[in-house]
């Protein structure tokens, strides 16, 4: 899992704001109905206070992750909320009908010891949620089976089965890459969390020694700040070896 001290997979409470108020469509957590609804109501208040957090799953605006949110009657648990709008099927509420969208909020529930790692991963969680939730752009597509599929794919990401990939820009800043097809960069940091290896993929064979030193510095800082020095760093310059690693992870790099 995200944290070696975490023994339980994250759970999900998924709510949608119907004409009559919030309704829970999916709950695989240990929370009973009343506790889950209390969490949803407190989460709705937080979302209302930060409406800029509400995103769209068409890629125009990623939802903003909110939290950690205390879980009622469960001091050891925390939740993060991911709010987004979905296109309505129909509504008898004039305001909702005029807006054309309903509010949905996904609450991922974690053991408290995992919160720091979850918050540090917002740069991956927000765009990844948007990417895999595209089918939920319309209310008619939101049902328990599609929510469960979303949950399963998010668990793959939380558990480290999805690698984290960063391109190193010319100014040494990092850009996290999302998806299976990456835009070209001369250097990538490919973090296989499951195997605890950070690959430095050097695509530019004529890179000077100063650039190499800077890349190593950036890699070590990322390992320290994000992964608490848990990753073994391995530099790859051989193109065939790069291709082999990328193929195993089902990733391809766009041509220049």
Domain match, 102 and 175 both: no
> Quick check: is 235 in a domain?
yes
Q: Are 126 and 64 in contact (CB under 8 A)?
A: yes
> Quick check: is 90 in a domain?
yes
Domain match, 123 and 171 both: no
Domain match, 131 and 231 both: no
Q: Indicate the residue among 135, 158, 181 that finishes a domain.
A: 158
Q: Which residues pair with 189 in a beta bridge?
A: 166, 200
Total domains present in the chain: 2
Measured distance CA(253)–CA(246) in Å, rounded: 9
Domain match, 25 and 71 both: yes
Rg from Cα positions in the chain: 20
Q: Indicate the residue among 108, 142, 158 that finishes a domain.
A: 158
> Quick check: is 4 in a domain?
no
Q: Is the pLDDT of residue 127 over 90?
A: no
> Quick check: is 46 in a domain?
yes
Q: Is the pLDDT of residue 6 over 70?
A: no
Q: What band does 255 get if pLDDT is binned at 50, 70 and 90?
A: low
Give the pLDDT confidence of 67-119 residue by residue, as tens digits.
899 999 999 999 999 999 999 999 999 999 999 999 999 999 998 877 777 77
Domain match, 148 and 241 both: no
Residue that the structure tokens 């996904």 belong to: 106
> Quick check: is 231 in a domain?
yes
Domain match, 117 and 240 both: no
pLDDT at 5: 45
> Quick check: is 88 in a domain?
yes
> Quick check: is 118 in a domain?
yes
Q: Is the pLDDT of residue 218 over 50?
A: yes
Q: Indicate the residue among 158, 190, 218 that finishes a domain.
A: 158
Q: What is the pTM of this model?
A: 0.77
Q: Are 162 and 133 in contact (CB under 8 A)?
A: no
Measured distance CA(89)–CA(98) in Å, rounded: 12
Cβ atoms within 10 Å of 72's Cβ, excluding its own? 16
Domain match, 224 and 100 both: no
Domain match, 103 and 38 both: yes
Domain match, 17 and 127 both: yes
Q: Is the pLDDT of residue 166 over 80?
A: yes
* Burial class (CB within 10 angstroms; exposed 0-12, middle 13-18, buried 19+) of 122: middle
Domain match, 106 and 42 both: yes
Q: Identify the CATH number of the domain in which residue 175 sits.
A: 3.40.20
Q: What band does 4 get if pLDDT is binned at 50, 70 and 90?
A: very low
Give the pLDDT confidence of 142-153 residue by residue, as tens digits.
999 999 999 998
Domain match, 138 and 208 both: no
Q: Is the pLDDT of residue 252 over 70?
A: yes
> Quick check: is 55 in a domain?
yes
Q: Which domain holds residue 189?
A: 164-253
Residue 103's nearest CA partner among 124, 82, 122 is 82
Measured distance CA(161)–CA(155) in Å, rounded: 9
Question: Across all residues in the chain, what is the average pLDDT?
Answer: 88
Domain match, 98 and 134 both: yes
Query: 22-26, 43-47, 125-129: which range is least confident on average?
Result: 125-129
């Amino acid at each position: 899992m995200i944290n070696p001290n975490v023994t339980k997979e994250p759970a999900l409470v998924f709510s949608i704001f119907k004409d009559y108020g919030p309704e829970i469509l999916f709950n695989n957590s240990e929370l009973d109905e009343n506790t889950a609804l209390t969490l949803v109501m407190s989460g709705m208040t937080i979302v209302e206070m930060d409406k800029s957090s509400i995103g769209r799953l068409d890629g125009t605006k990623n939802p903003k992750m909110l939290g950690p949110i205390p879980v009622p009657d469960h001091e050891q648990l925390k939740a993060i909320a991911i709010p987004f709008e979905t296109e309505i099927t129909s509504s008898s509420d004039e305001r909702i009908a005029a807006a054309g969208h309903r509010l949905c909020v996904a609450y991922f529930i974690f053991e408290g010891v995992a919160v720091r790692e979850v918050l540090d991963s917002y740069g991956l969680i927000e765009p990844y949620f948007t990417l895999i939730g595209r089918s939920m752009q319309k209310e008619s597509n939101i049902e328990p089976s599609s929510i469960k599929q979303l949950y399963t794919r998010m668990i793959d990401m939380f558990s480290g089965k999805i690698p984290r990939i960063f391109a190193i820009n010319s100014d040494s800043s990092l850009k996290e890459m999302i998806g299976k097809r990456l835009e070209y960069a001369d250097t990538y940091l490919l973090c296989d969390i499951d195997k605890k290896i950070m690959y430095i993929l050097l695509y530019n064979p004529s890179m000077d020694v100063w650039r190499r030193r800077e890349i190593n510095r950036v890699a070590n800082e990322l390992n320290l700040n994000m992964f608490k020095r848990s990753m073994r760093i391995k530099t790859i310059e051989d193109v065939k070896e790069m291709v082999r690693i990328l193929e195993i992870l089902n990733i391809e790099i766009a041509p220049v």
